[in-house]
Amino acid sequence: MTKPVVALIYDFDKTLATDDMQAFSFIPNLGMTSEEFWKETGDFVKKTGTESTLAYLHTMIKECKEKGIDLTKEYLHSLGKSIKFYEGVLTWFKRLNQYADSLGLQLEHYIISSGLKEMIEGTKVATKFKKIYASSFYFDEDGVAVWPAQVVNYTNKTQFLFRIEKGVLDINDQAGNSHFEPNQYRVPFRNMVYIGDSDTDIPCMKLVNINGGHSIGVYNSETKDKTKVFRMLDENRIKYFAPADYTEGSKLEHLVQQIIDRTITNEILEDVHFDCIAEKLDETRGQSEEELKKEELIDKLEDSSNFANTHSIIEQMLEIKEWSEDQKCKLFKIALENNQVTYILKDVDVKDFYRMICKNNNSEEAKRIKEIIYEKE
């Protein structure tokens, strides 16, 4: 039996890494401060109207050319080695994988980041992720970055959640646009946990939340500034928040473990749900649309809670002239047990319907109904 899959999906900068990835080596190597680099990028956005992620990729290419730095994939990989992570990140993946495995679940880790894929690939944790979705460069024949190959920003991040859901991870695979039945999803949203730190994560957080998954806001455990997570909680963007502390026994670890624990029960119930659907399909297979409609109307009449609804259902039933004996028995029972039908048996439409199905029927229930509808006539 295939293990249920739980996906932990992370932003990167200030979620796993302690700062923007460019701040550790890339920007210092340009002889710039972070403030200078991001100001130049912001000025370019204002001047040209360029999307902000495209703008910072442009600034990287421009500044490297001006400073005589070959912006190659190898160079970017080397910069990834200088990225610093929050405490506990390096051992986090193994610990959580083992915990999930002990409960019969398969845990997978994904990155969805506006940061640079080539730098993430150079980090110590790159191999821990099943897939890294991040911005990246196209490199020319000399191996130098010349153009963005992939741009990930806060609005298009959500598309990757749907790919994870369907198990169609290649961004160029058109199967990602195909229709999937609910029981065909490899990682349903209810089994997703999104961990992020800022406004750029809000679309993903909201999408995961409204579809039954779990979103966690993290904040710097040293500064203890909870302003963003408080706001995201107030706006229903996240369900939980915790310090960005990935050490064993931390609040964040306990929280994710509790979500994994809950997933076990959820998956058992989902299996029962889909078994019920399969049983229903098996037993109704071969029935005509009219027969299915009859059964649906009978159920609705049985559950009717007001006279107006009863009249609406009876109106549809009057259009159907043939009812099986079993269906008539159900309808007789409803007429005698549901007050929202019994009390209006003499109304013209209800009376016409029951007179039709009681005709030539000598059951005790039919006799009682005929006594009611013909009373005083």
The whole-angstrom separation of Cα 116 and Cα 54 is 11
pLDDT at 284: 67
pTM for the whole structure: 0.74
Residue 290 is predicted with a pLDDT of: 83
Quick count: other Cβ atoms within 10 Å of Cβ 362?
8
Beta strands 145-150 and 131-139: pairing type?
antiparallel
User: SS3 for 157?
Assistant: coil
Q: Domain 5-18+85-142+150-271 - what CATH class?
A: alpha beta
Phi, psi of 237 (to 5 degrees): -80, -30
Contact partners, residue 83, CB within 8 Å, separation at least 6: 17, 21, 24, 119, 123
Q: Answer for the pair 111, 10: CB distance below 8 angstroms, yes or no.
A: yes
Structure tokens at 117: 């894929």
The pLDDT value recorded for residue 230 is: 94
Q: For position 286, what pLDDT does the model report?
A: 63
What pLDDT was estimated at residue 175? 78
- pLDDT (0 to 100) of residue 269: 78
CA 173, 177, 180, 182 torsion-angle sign = positive
Rounded distance, CA 56 to CA 50, Å?
10
pLDDT (tens, 9 = 90+) of the chain, 377 residues, equals 688 999 999 999 999 999 999 999 999 999 999 999 999 999 999 999 999 999 999 999 999 999 999 999 999 999 999 999 999 999 999 999 999 999 999 999 999 999 999 999 999 999 999 999 999 999 999 999 999 999 999 889 999 999 999 999 998 888 777 778 777 889 999 999 999 998 889 899 999 999 999 999 999 988 889 999 999 999 889 999 999 999 999 999 999 999 999 988 887 777 777 777 777 777 766 677 888 899 999 999 999 999 999 999 999 999 998 999 999 999 999 999 999 999 999 999 999 999 999 998 999 999 999 999 887 64
> What would the two tokens of residue 59 be?
């600034």
Q: Would you list the domain boundaries of the chain?
A: 5-18+85-142+150-271, 289-373
Residue 367 tokens read as 């006799």
pLDDT number for residue 174 = 83
| Residue 241 confidence (pLDDT) | 96
Using only C-alpha atoms, what is the Rg of the chain? Answer: 31
Beta bridge partner(s), residue 194: 9, 215
From residue 336, alpha-carbon distances to 100, 325, 345 in Å are 54, 17, 9
Would you state the pLDDT for residue 376? 60
In 3D space, the residue among 233, 254, 236, 237 whose CA is nearest the CA of residue 245 turns out to be 254
d(CA 222, CA 218): 12
- For 316, the token pair is 């549809």
